Amino acid sequence: MLTSGLQHVAAMYAGVVAPPLIVGAAVGLSGTELTFLTGASLFTAGLATFLQTLGVWKIGAKLPFVNGVTFAGVAPMLAIVDTTENKADALPVIFGAIIVAGLLGFAAAPFFSRLVRFFPPVVTGTVITLIGVSLLPVAFGWAQGPNPTAKDYGSTTYLSLAGITLVVVLLLRRFTRGFLKQVAVLVGLVIGTLIAIPFGVTDFSPVQEADIVGFPSPFHFGAPQFALAAIISMCVVMLVSMTESTADMLALGEIVERPADEKTIAAGLRADTLGSAISPLFNGFMCSAFAQNIGLVAMTRIRSRFVVAAGGGFLVLMGLSPVAASLISVVPRPVLGGAGVVLFGSVAASGIQTLVKAGLEKDNNVLIVAVSLAVGIIPITKPDFYHAFPETAQIILDSGISTGCVAAVLLNVVFNHLGRGRDADEVTAPMEPGEEISGSASAKAAHVH
């Protein structure tokens, strides 16, 4: 349980610490303050993970779900920093906005969860696939190195380390059994880190400079401030986060063979939003489900929520001990990238498995998948596609998961809810001329025109 929980932490660590590092640097925090802010994010991610996995009352999906700082909030938080005259007030303004957005989201959770009937397999499969595809560029970026502006970014050394880590994970999954097979990603990260030492890529300075004990004192950066523009901005982020969390819960429910119903989604959203509302108390940011850990569950087949709760315990301990937190930060980005290819690719594969059950013998469903995937992939292939839109709109549009999810839901309503008689239409394309469909609902052959 402990090693598998640690593996979950290793899979999501970079995603948790990146937002506070980015925002903290924009505010102009010192190295010591940045370390504090990072530890606070780890601590609050652990608390949110406890809420999600163990549950309290009607709060928590009680699924193997890891929660942490959402990347969706980074852009609006940077905008808040830019528009705040006194940079010392930027973090209190951000924290105040997150508290309000979290409380409003908590109140809206049961109503938002009723939308689950609009998420049949054709929608969930598309969204799950988009989650994996959207995360893969993150792994590719890690594989190229820690600094995109450095001359050695994307060097053969970095790419080789990523490739070696990937191969190690694959070999362990193929030729080992039992416990070692289940912790293949963790072992791959350790081996990749050791191999990276002779190349001078592994940096142990975070361990040497970190304190042994450090508690994230409440409101360390000042009492929260409430600015209307900031609150509206973070409420939009909360809606995006809730949409992605709903998709993630549906994905995880399929993987662990416990489909997420309306009640489960409502409880999961309550955990997300309450965790977000509590997080600023300890100097943390908005929390949301981490899709990369869904890939780990899919790959290892370890479905116990208590394993993920153990991971939440590690996050809390690392938040209380900067030295412990710094140990995982020793793992080089290229090594994380190599493991990320397996993790994120597994999410996409799970989506494809769900699509197989979606009834793609129908024209309607083929069109839903085709258009939704195209819409969701736009921000990946053309990151500046929506540059002319207002910044608030870009928060939503630049998330391929959110846009693809909205497109899939709307198209499903149009094609499969408005005029149900059309549902029986069988697929007529794409197929080879004269090819027949076997095993269709009508048990009749349909020729392509």
Share of the chain above pLDDT 70, in %: 88
Section 138-149 average pLDDT: 86
Give per-residue pLDDT as tens, 240-299. Answer: 778 778 878 887 888 887 888 888 889 999 999 999 999 999 999 998 887 767 777 877
What distance in Å separates the CA atoms of residue 40 and residue 319, rounded to the nearest whole number?
6
What distance in Å separates the CA atoms of residue 250 and residue 432, rounded to the nearest whole number?
34
DSSP 277: H
What distance in Å separates the CA atoms of residue 228 and residue 250, rounded to the nearest whole number?
33
Section 350-366 average pLDDT: 83
The pLDDT of residue 395 is above 80: no
The pLDDT of residue 192 is above 80: yes
The pLDDT of residue 161 is above 90: yes
Section 317-330 average pLDDT: 75
Section 20-31 average pLDDT: 79
Task: Look at residues 26, 260, 1 and name the one whose alpha carbon lies nearest to residue 127.
Answer: 260
Give per-residue pLDDT as tens, 77-135. Answer: 887 887 777 888 889 999 999 999 999 999 999 888 787 677 788 887 888 788 788 87
Task: Look at residues 319, 342, 420, 410 and name the one whose alpha carbon lies nearest to residue 122.
Answer: 410
List the single range of 49-58, 375-384, 386-395, 419-428 with lowest mean pLDDT: 419-428
Section 337-346 average pLDDT: 84
Section 422-436 average pLDDT: 45
Domains in the chain: boundaries: 2-358, 359-449
Query: CA-based angle 425:128:6, to the nearest 5?
Result: 160
Cβ proximity of 346 and 132 under 8 Å: yes
In the numeric block, which tokens belong to residue 260? 């997420």
437 pLDDT band, cuts 50/70/90, is very low
What residue type is 128 in one-letter code? I
Cis peptide before 121 (omega within 30 of 0): no
Select the highest-mean-pLDDT range: 209-218, 271-280, 322-331, 390-399: 271-280
**Greater pLDDT, 349 or 11:** 349
Can you list the pairs that 114-119 forms with residues at least 24 positions away whose Cβ atoms lie under 8 Å? 114/262, 115/246, 115/409, 116/246, 116/250, 116/260, 116/261, 116/262, 116/265, 117/262, 118/409, 118/412, 118/413, 119/246, 119/247, 119/250, 119/409
DSSP 126: H
Q: Is the CA virtual torsion 223, 228, 230, 235 positive or negative?
A: positive
**pLDDT value of position 427:** 47
